[in-house]
Structure 1
Amino acid sequence: MILLKKVLLAFFGLCAGGVIAAGVYAFLAIIGVFVRLMGKTGTRKHIFLYETVIILGGVIGNIMDIYEFPIAIGGFTGHLLLGICGLSVGIFVGCLVMSLAETLKALPTISRRIHLAVGLQYLILALAAGKMTGSLLYFWQKMASLG
């Protein structure tokens, strides 16, 4: 009876996780994050590679989250790996936010409200640079207190 309960719990957990993951990926596809990245980088011919990497990323990310594999890398190598992972996640979140903002037509609204006819790209760059600087300072202080 206990085994049946565990099997059913695992089944329903996997089903619920699959539904949530499908919803997240559908949201990302609808707002055009992947298409925009392919268009900006000029790599539309590698769509099968994009699909494979996106699926593998979701599956491996879920496995790492569920089982919490420890990664015993310390010192400079660990900090370098952490920095690369943080930069990758930051780039993805930035692309997600920009796609969502464009989808919601927020940029034209902002430019009309602040009467900005030219230079919107510089405003966006300044906002991104400020966010990046704040994040780097925050994490630099945390890493300095660890080492």
Structure 2
Amino acid sequence: MTLLDEALLAFIGLAWGIAVGSGFVAFITVLDIVPRLVQLTGTPDKIRVYEMAIISGVILFTWIDFREWLIGLTPWIIPLLGGAMGIFVGMLAAALTEVVNVIPILAKRLGVQDRLMVLLIMMALGKVAGSLIQSLFSII
């Protein structure tokens, strides 16, 4: 591999990193995560702490990912961490759908406004079933 190839790969990696980072910041901004957290906790004087916690977490886990750091965990804690991660992703997805009002629009177009709760339950069960199938049968 030549120096030009390595420089091109470095440039592409940096460009993708900037794109993903910008997308993450836009996502956090659109969902109003920090202002909503300040509103729920009633701590407007701690807004910088919340912002620094997000930034520190991103930097720390990026560093851990680059270092390929492995944590030896006992088998009983892994399902707890998996559950916490699943709850986090689910809540983030719920916040996104709340922001863009996907579910009410979908219910209106399908003509099932009176059965909205059933629609929500079926969507959640489908997500759980898909996750279980992927996890249990290693389907990518």
Q: Does the pair score TM above 0.5?
A: yes
TM-score by length of 1: 0.61
Identity of aligned residues (%): 31
Pair 1:98-2:84 in alignment: no
Query: 2:104 is matched with which residue?
Result: 108
Structure-to-structure mapping, 1:1-147, within 5 angstroms? 17-18=17-18, 20-36=20-36, 38=37, 42-45=40-43, 46-73=46-73, 77-80=74-77, 82-112=78-108, 113-117=110-114, 120-121=116-117, 123-132=119-128, 135-136=131-132, 139=135, 141=136
Q: Which runs of 5+ in 1 are unaligned?
A: 1-5, 143-147
TM-score by length of 2: 0.64
Q: Is the 8 A contact 1:31 1:99 kept in 2?
A: yes
Q: Is the 8 A contact 2:34 2:51 kept in 1?
A: no
In structure 2, distance between residues paired with 1:131 and 1:61 = 26
Call closer, same or farther: CA 1:134–1:17 in 2, change over 3 Å.
Answer: closer
Q: Which structure's relative contact order is higher, taking Cα pairs within 8 Å and 6+ residues apart?
A: 1
The alignment of Structure 1 onto Structure 2 pairs a total of residues equal to 132
Per-residue deviation, 1:62: 0.5
In structure 1, distance between residues paired with 2:131 and 2:79 = 12
